[in-house]
């Protein structure tokens, strides 16, 4: 099936080809006019040249507009807000979203060492006002932990220790909370992508072999197909880990 964009491109090219042929015919036929029709000849050549110029402008404009329109449709449909070269760059946006959070925070990650160290006050504040916080992490006894250490060039046992610290941190924070509590569940399968949702924003980043998790490309989605896809995926994984 031919896409709408392809059809639009073909329609534009068809019109351009027809008008181009008309301008060529006008130019060629004007060459056969006798000298006493010079005024008409000049008019005809001028019209033909105007059509050629319009064709060129139409071509450049249509190519730009169609591509721009296609990109806009994709961005709007999927709710793509930003792409970040590294997760460290994305942290500025996640930090801002966290300060504005009103209802829910969902996270799928490993030990969250930096988050635990930098955001304990924000987390305590959110819990005290009743915000729901869910954390999904890999099981601290999973056989895959050594693979994760190797892929991120960490010392053996680093990820296990970080996850155990995360569990202890959640327990400590919950003990001090005057409102809601952090819910934490674990899975024992291939690592999920990094997932961080704050209300109507979702932040995603892969775990790539040989790269620190803070150095991988990351994405930000607002309400749209991307947001729906990732929240649905997280909810399924969360429910499977009951």
CATH number at residue 165: 3.30.870.10
| pLDDT recorded at residue 160 | 92
Residue after which a domain boundary falls, among 53, 78, 103: 78
Angle at the Cα of 177 (from 172 to 183), degrees rounded to 5? Answer: 70
Same domain, 155 and 85: yes
Residue with tokens 């050549």: 45
Residue after which a domain boundary falls, among 48, 78, 108: 78
Same domain, 232 and 113: yes
Same domain, 212 and 109: yes
Spatial distance between the Cα atoms of 126 and 131, rounded to a whole number of angstroms: 5
Give the bridge partners for 83, in sequence order: 219
Same domain, 9 and 106: no
Domain count, the chain: 2
Same domain, 73 and 92: no
Spatial CA neighbour of 192 closest among 153, 136, 242: 136
Same domain, 59 and 127: no
Q: Are 179 and 189 in contact (CB under 8 A)?
A: no
| pLDDT recorded at residue 237 | 92
Phi first, then psi: what are they for 198, rounded to 5°?
-125, 105
- Walk along the chain (242 residues) and give the pLDDT tens digit of each residue: 444 455 555 566 777 778 778 878 887 887 777 777 777 777 878 888 888 777 777 776 766 666 677 777 788 889 899 999 998 899 889 989 998 999 999 999 998 888 898 888 999 999 999 999 999 999 999 988 888 888 888 888 899 999 999 999 999 999 998 899 999 999 988 777 899 999 999 999 988 877 777 888 999 999 889 999 999 999 999 998 86
Spatial distance between the Cα atoms of 69 and 32, rounded to a whole number of angstroms: 45
**For the chain, what's the residue count?**
242
| pLDDT recorded at residue 50 | 83
Spatial CA neighbour of 117 closest among 169, 194, 184: 169
Same domain, 57 and 100: no
| pLDDT recorded at residue 2 | 42
| pLDDT recorded at residue 62 | 66
Question: For residue 112, with 0-12 CB atoms within 10 Å meaning exposed, 13-18 middle and 19 or more buried, which class applies?
Answer: buried
Host domain of residue 18:
4-78
Q: How far is CA 161 from the centre of its chain?
A: 31
Reported pTM: 0.71
Same domain, 118 and 18: no
| pLDDT recorded at residue 4 | 47
Same domain, 33 and 59: yes
Same domain, 43 and 113: no
Spatial distance between the Cα atoms of 173 and 112, rounded to a whole number of angstroms: 14
| pLDDT recorded at residue 1 | 44
Spatial CA neighbour of 194 closest among 161, 179, 216: 216
Same domain, 93 and 37: no
Residue after which a domain boundary falls, among 78, 110, 142: 78
Same domain, 195 and 235: yes
| pLDDT recorded at residue 218 | 93
């Amino acid at each position: 099936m031919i896409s709408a964009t392809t059809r639009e491109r073909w329609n534009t090219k068809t019109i351009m080809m027809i008008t181009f042929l008309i301008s060529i015919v006008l130019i060629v036929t004007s060459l056969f006019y006798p000298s006493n029709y010079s005024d008409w000849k000049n008019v005809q050549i001028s019209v033909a040249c105007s059509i050629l110029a319009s064709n060129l402008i139409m071509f450049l404009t249509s190519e730009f507009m169609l591509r721009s329109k296609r990109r806009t449709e994709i961005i709007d449909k999927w709710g793509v807000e930003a792409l970040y070269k590294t997760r460290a760059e994305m942290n500025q946006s996640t930090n801002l979203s966290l300060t504005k959070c009103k209802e829910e925070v969902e996270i799928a990650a490993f030990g969250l060492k930096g988050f635990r160290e930098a955001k304990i006050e924000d987390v305590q504040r959110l819990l005290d006002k009743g915000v729901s916080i869910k954390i999904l992490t890999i099981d601290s006894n999973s056989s895959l932990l050594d693979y994760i250490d190797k892929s991120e060039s960490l010392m053996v046992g680093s990820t296990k220790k970080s996850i155990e610290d995360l569990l202890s941190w959640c327990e400590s924070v919950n003990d001090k909370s005057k409102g809601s509590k952090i819910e934490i569940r674990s899975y024992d399968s291939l690592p999920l992508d990094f997932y961080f949702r704050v209300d109507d924003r979702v932040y995603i980043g892969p775990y790539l072999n040989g790269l620190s998790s803070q150095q991988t490309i990351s994405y930000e989605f607002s309400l749209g197909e991307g947001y729906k896809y990732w929240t649905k995926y997280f909810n399924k994984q969360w429910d499977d880990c009951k």
